[in-house]
Structure 1
């Protein structure tokens, strides 16, 4: 076994006593060297100048009971043993210069003696591994026996040595990651790894963070979840403040962010605190930070670095200690290169940068997000809606295909699932409803030039020959355009089956039972049309 070095404070009360009667009492610093089952090779006995005589007496008594123990008296420059900063600073300075050698010795930190502040400081130094040792806690014997050594226990603060604690910490981290994802069992490996790192950084850092991603990718949502997580951990106490910088223009931009003094500009009838001060001790989320003007960027840089800034029209600084999370859908590197964004501000907020992928890049996460949105809808409406098996299969087949652009990302998915759940009957989302929703999404994502090319007058004229005028007026443009496209395909096909094959070419390959003609017949019947009627004016 490696030689033992005990480090501990002199007990000005417990170790005291000068007459022969001192040997009949339990004195921790002496007793720890009296155990027969172990030998203390060296003791670093910490004391303050006013107790030097007691320290020398304890040194002498230890030499009497344990000649093998070398006692080194260490005087620490501590005036107030209850001042945490003073005690910790003195201990830290001593440990920084001490020649620890874990290969040659084992170190025990005796927290039995000393003030509570001293014990806490030793504990913290052991936990941080500034002192590479274990905690020693001694206790007196259960029955008073002259010269009895008492008992002792060792506590290793290296959590990796405790399987149960390691498991508990791992579970806590998993729970935090799940919280950031709203407990959605996402499957995309890159996204899961990204969120796991964000959880780790959010728990350990107060530095600015930059979230990059397209509109609707979840930047605002993730920022709020990080705030809620930090607040639950008591790492933050202020408010969550969010602002979209794209909405800030002119004097109102600086006023909104930094506040203003009464009369600072026309219309400034009263003093305004500003969002940065509102976020004091909290979290400020600046979405679309690339939209900020040059003046606001300069003021923001000062506020981040110095925690101080000047409200508009004021010559007196104010302070606010907030954590910044910024969001953008732009490449700020290009903005810096073009001179539209300050390089020094970008460097300041670029310590932790995370690119959130769009929904189209996380196609495997669409299904669990659909389930989550249906649960949310049920909680809000108190009605449970589910897909039929074929309807679910068809919707996922489209949603995960290259045809699904998801240009609005999760906003598009949320709107789509909401429409399906709202229009469902008897708690079931049918295949017909899915087909109609797919048509809506395709129309939504159609490029303006494609829309212009497809919305010709002849389509409406063809419908007027088939449907009453009031029926056409009651139809949405989307339904009118879709029906006109179906009519054109029908009139170019030789049969109902051929038209069905053209219209359902992609989805028919996913079906166990194929009946394109029946699907097309049912679609036409929704508008009171038949194959013969549609083709009669061919």
Structure 2
């Protein structure tokens, strides 16, 4: 396999020394070919038109010390060697047009010469694999190696560096745990979602849309995303949160965008507005679906242009904020109804994540219970805990279908607060749990019965098929159909039907199990729902 060196001519360092004295001075490009343990078959020497003479001289000196090396001179002209975009584009054009043959040739990219901007661009192109090469770094030396200097290759394949790779993995895991407030959640779908949110939060400034029912944790997640960005020095401003449901009407425009003095009756003083406060920071708009169409239009302009007009002003203000929008509404349905702008939804929907409610993450109830107990300890200043029987009883109820967790994590937080407040000495006993379960049952509306009225199997199966099914299986199928008809999705129906066995499985696929049962009778969830 041939070895090929690619590098820029050093218009200063490669010009050192005159006459025979140039052989006593370290010149980075020539020094490469004076290394005893590095044999180079070809040198791709890139130079500016103004340095053509120097390039020819350096090429001749390379031929002197390494006669078997082929030197190819390539002219690339940089109008401004310190303009990052220009230098990167020029070098990228070279990389994309160069006929790399990595199966036949080994490439070394010399980054010692050229401006600091060029060196950075070389590195980025190599890391992105536009140039399939190892980095070649040269440096001066003393003594006998004075003219040759030293050289070292750096392979950017991080998978070969266990320590570095481990550090990146640990940093990623730390970020994910931070977003989860250190809670060791067990729901695989939720954990995978948080892992992706961590990557997006670190790598992107684009808007995020977080959907989910009230109490699912949208506000807390938004604040943790901000704090993670802040820890990584990715954001400099403040976290500004607003519930759009509280600023509906005439005051919404002023609250968001501010107003000038005298803009309307009662505007005795100018107001900055929330977008101004969020400059260089993060703006969290909870319940964004509550905004009026005028506010939505202004918000879209502010997101895209980073500028907006306060109420009553002809002078635009600037605010470079990052946006997280939250809602428990179906924004696509609102678009269809004409109450939410389609262009705004398209702009904030690049990264969209739906937080499941607590009843859909029952395997995460226990770790969240421990988290709430820790919070209670901090607030109360002393140890709080369940006795064994009380904990077992509370978890049995919390994991059962009887617990609807209508308010999601707010209900769990409130339950823990009540029990810890009433517990003498911070010890929650069975009576505290019994009282709390009774309180929650009174608080939550009774769930609708699973048995839908007037269901006849003959509406779904032929007489011949029914004749082959035992009475026991018919009763089971009636129950399955009733639950499916009252469920919003196949997954929800599966969670209801397999409510006991799913808690004993490490990985749940309730929808697949239910789909297999229905398939035995040539039925599908869609068939049952469509015939409500």
Bin of the TM-score, shorter chain as denominator length: 0.7 to 0.9
**2:402 counterpart residue number:** 403
**2:464 counterpart residue number:** none
1 CA distance for matches of 2:84 and 2:139?
Answer: 25
**2:265 counterpart residue number:** 266
2 CA distance for matches of 1:268 and 1:381?
Answer: 44
| Structure 2: gaps (5+ residues) | 450-532
- C-alpha RMSD of matched pairs (Å): 2.1
- Report if the CA contact (8 A) 1:16-1:54 is conserved: no
1:326-405 correspondence to structure 2 within 5 Å: 326-405=325-404
**1:131 counterpart residue number:** 131
**1:88 counterpart residue number:** 88
**1:176 counterpart residue number:** 175
- Report if the CA contact (8 A) 1:11-1:29 is conserved: no
**1:499 counterpart residue number:** none
- Report if the CA contact (8 A) 1:12-1:51 is conserved: no
Question: Structure 1 residues 314 and 118 mapped into 2: Cα distance closer, same or farther (>3 Å)?
Answer: same
2 CA distance for matches of 1:113 and 1:294?
Answer: 56
What do residues 256-308 of structure 1 show as CA deviations (whole Å, max 9, x unaligned)?
Answer: 11111211111111211211121111111111111111111111111112222
TM-fit CA distance, 1:203 = 1.3
**2:235 counterpart residue number:** 236
TM-fit CA distance, 1:125 = 2.2
- Report if the CA contact (8 A) 1:10-1:45 is conserved: no
Q: Give the TM-score normalised by the residue count of structure 1.
A: 0.80
Equivalent residue of 2:8, what SS? strand
TM-fit CA distance, 1:145 = 5.3
**Which deviates more, 258-267 or 360-369?**
258-267
What do residues 149-181 of structure 1 show as CA deviations (whole Å, max 9, x unaligned)?
Answer: 332111112222222211111111111000000
1 CA distance for matches of 2:251 and 2:90?
Answer: 51
**1:319 counterpart residue number:** 318
Aligned residues: 449
TM-fit CA distance, 1:96 = 3.3
What do residues 328-347 of structure 1 show as CA deviations (whole Å, max 9, x unaligned)?
Answer: 10111111111111111111
- Report if the CA contact (8 A) 1:9-1:110 is conserved: no
**1:192 counterpart residue number:** 191
TM-fit CA distance, 1:31 = 1.7
TM-fit CA distance, 1:86 = 4.2
Question: Structure 1 residues 145 and 278 mapped into 2: Cα distance closer, same or farther (>3 Å)?
Answer: closer
TM-fit CA distance, 1:83 = 4.3
1 CA distance for matches of 2:85 and 2:186?
Answer: 48
Equivalent residue of 2:143, what SS? coil
1 CA distance for matches of 2:256 and 2:96?
Answer: 44
- Report if the CA contact (8 A) 1:214-1:358 is conserved: yes
TM-fit CA distance, 1:82 = 4.1
- Report if the CA contact (8 A) 2:3-2:108 is conserved: no
Question: Structure 1 residues 274 and 341 mapped into 2: Cα distance closer, same or farther (>3 Å)?
Answer: same
Do residues 75 (structure 1) and 99 (structure 2) align? Answer: no
What do residues 347-382 of structure 1 show as CA deviations (whole Å, max 9, x unaligned)?
Answer: 111111111000111111111111111111112221
What do residues 204-260 of structure 1 show as CA deviations (whole Å, max 9, x unaligned)?
Answer: 111111111000000010001001111111111111111111011222101111111
- Report if the CA contact (8 A) 2:359-2:405 is conserved: yes
- Report if the CA contact (8 A) 1:49-1:76 is conserved: yes
Question: Structure 1 residues 23 and 448 mapped into 2: Cα distance closer, same or farther (>3 Å)?
Answer: closer
Equivalent residue of 1:45, what SS? strand
**1:536 counterpart residue number:** none
2 CA distance for matches of 1:7 and 1:239?
Answer: 45
2 CA distance for matches of 1:87 and 1:197?
Answer: 33
Do residues 245 (structure 1) and 244 (structure 2) align? Answer: yes
What do residues 438-466 of structure 1 show as CA deviations (whole Å, max 9, x unaligned)?
Answer: 1111111136999xxxxxxxxxxxxxxxx
Q: Give the TM-score normalised by the residue count of structure 2.
A: 0.80
- Report if the CA contact (8 A) 1:6-1:40 is conserved: no
| Structure 1: gaps (5+ residues) | 451-538
**Which deviates more, 160-169 or 186-195?**
160-169
Question: Structure 1 residues 107 and 348 mapped into 2: Cα distance closer, same or farther (>3 Å)?
Answer: same
- Which of the pair has more CA radius of gyration? 1
Question: Structure 1 residues 197 and 220 mapped into 2: Cα distance closer, same or farther (>3 Å)?
Answer: same
1 CA distance for matches of 2:189 and 2:417?
Answer: 28
Equivalent residue of 1:426, what SS? helix
1 CA distance for matches of 2:397 and 2:145?
Answer: 83
